[in-house]
Structure 1
């Protein structure tokens, strides 16, 4: 693999290397890819870069992931699917554009989740919210729990395509958007997380009541607030 010097191309370089190895049969169908830690050590990249590369391969249908287990090759014939250039997400305007996509996608997923969620799925959402509360109390950023909460909504929608698309878009955007909003808006992280958590609780409550329109409104408000924060950041930068 060529030297990874430019941060904006790290994900694309790692994705290309893994793709080439899969196509060449180094990782056969059914084989487990190296762990995150192994790839970090081999390629000298961050955990975020590894996760973004795996998200790209999953969006293409090349790999599938099992939480707590890893990523597995599901096909060697590489097909070009929907893809967002991760390097472009360094620009706040591009993050705003992707947030608009999430608003359209997830507000409808929330409607279906309110109609279709099972008691077990609702319990899983509440468990993730509790996990987020505990992480916030410890002074952590709770990014992964945030991801899982939105994943639970997409899963409860009962349509696997919602979950697949969210997994791709969400893993690329959520950590970047959060850090950018906090950095440029000068918001203390605990205050920011407390506000986000209140928005999450409103979404969960609407889904618990099985109120589709309230769920849609709460989800749309949550992501629209994120979009507004990023747009304020743009204004501060004179964009």
Structure 2
């Protein structure tokens, strides 16, 4: 029996998470929709049960689906893209964070793919150093936003594209002027895992994996930001 490379299994799970996340957040899979069974997923996508279980576990952790014992897995209620327009837009608000993350998704996913193709050994060392700083910074540190975003800036520098770099630096200025948001211990741990997965893809010069890892990281952040808009008070 052929053994599955753990990195390959993670990549397949990421792809499934990304596809389902996009469909759910776009409203293509409305709340209450019952997802296919584990066996149906494995047969349709030619992946192992382990891959499907890992993907479902991540979607549950993000509050996108719930599994009802003996019944199946269902899509949970999430905010829809058009719902945001009814709220006033204020600088530094939760809505502002949503808008920034939507922009970052359109920019940083391809940044990551180009960085994976072009990063030099020296640039990878710089990314690793920035990643270590981002993973170590405490939630109440006054410069936590800047330190974490430095990791993303280092990735953009690897593209060698001045337009990408200028856009990311402008984003950095915008982020620094906004309100700092505190993550729970679980959310911080998840951020660390996601950034580490992204770094592995960059280190292996795997553009597709880097693209998928960045998209997953930012999609998860976007979902949390949308949940903050939806939360009462």
Q: Which of the five TM-score ranges fits, normalised by the shorter chain?
A: 0.5 to 0.7
Render the CA deviation track for 1:75-104: whole Å, top value 9, x for unaligned.
Answer: xxxxxxxxxxxx833332232122111111
What residue in structure 2 maps to residue 199 of structure 1?
194
- Under a length normalisation based on structure 1, what TM-score does the superposition of the two structures give? 0.54
Over 3 Å counting, the alpha-carbon distance change for 1:200 and 1:171 in structure 2 is: farther
Residue in structure 2 matching 1:234, options 226, 229, 232: 229
* Greater relative CO (CA pairs within 8 A, separation 6+): 2
- In 2, Cα distance between the equivalents of 1:100 and 1:157? 21
- In 2, Cα distance between the equivalents of 1:176 and 1:198? 25
Residue in structure 2 matching 1:116, options 115, 118, 121: 118
* Unaligned stretches of 5+ residues in structure 2: 1-88
Render the CA deviation track for 1:196-227: whole Å, top value 9, x for unaligned.
Answer: 12111111110111111110111011111111
Partner SS state of residue 205, structure 2: coil
Over 3 Å counting, the alpha-carbon distance change for 1:209 and 1:151 in structure 2 is: same
- Under a length normalisation based on structure 2, what TM-score does the superposition of the two structures give? 0.56
- In 2, Cα distance between the equivalents of 1:226 and 1:133? 16
Q: Would the aligned equivalents of 1:129 and 1:149 in 2 still touch at CA under 8 Å?
A: yes
Matches within 5 A, 1:119-198: 119-136=121-138, 140=141, 142-173=144-175, 176=178, 179=181, 182=182, 187-188=183-184, 190-198=185-193
- In 2, Cα distance between the equivalents of 1:212 and 1:95? 27
Deviation at 1:109, TM superposition (A): 0.5
CA RMSD of aligned residues (A): 2.4
Deviation at 1:177, TM superposition (A): 6.8
Residue 216 (structure 1) aligned with residue 222 (structure 2): no
Over 3 Å counting, the alpha-carbon distance change for 1:132 and 1:160 in structure 2 is: same
* Unaligned stretches of 5+ residues in structure 1: 1-86
Render the CA deviation track for 1:32-82: whole Å, top value 9, x for unaligned.
Answer: xxxxxxxxxxxxxxxxxxxxxxxxxxxxxxxxxxxxxxxxxxxxxxxxxxx
- In 1, Cα distance between the equivalents of 2:173 and 2:186? 23
Runs of 4+ in 1 over 6 A off after TM superposition: none
Equivalent residue pairs, number: 144
Residue 225 (structure 1) aligned with residue 227 (structure 2): no
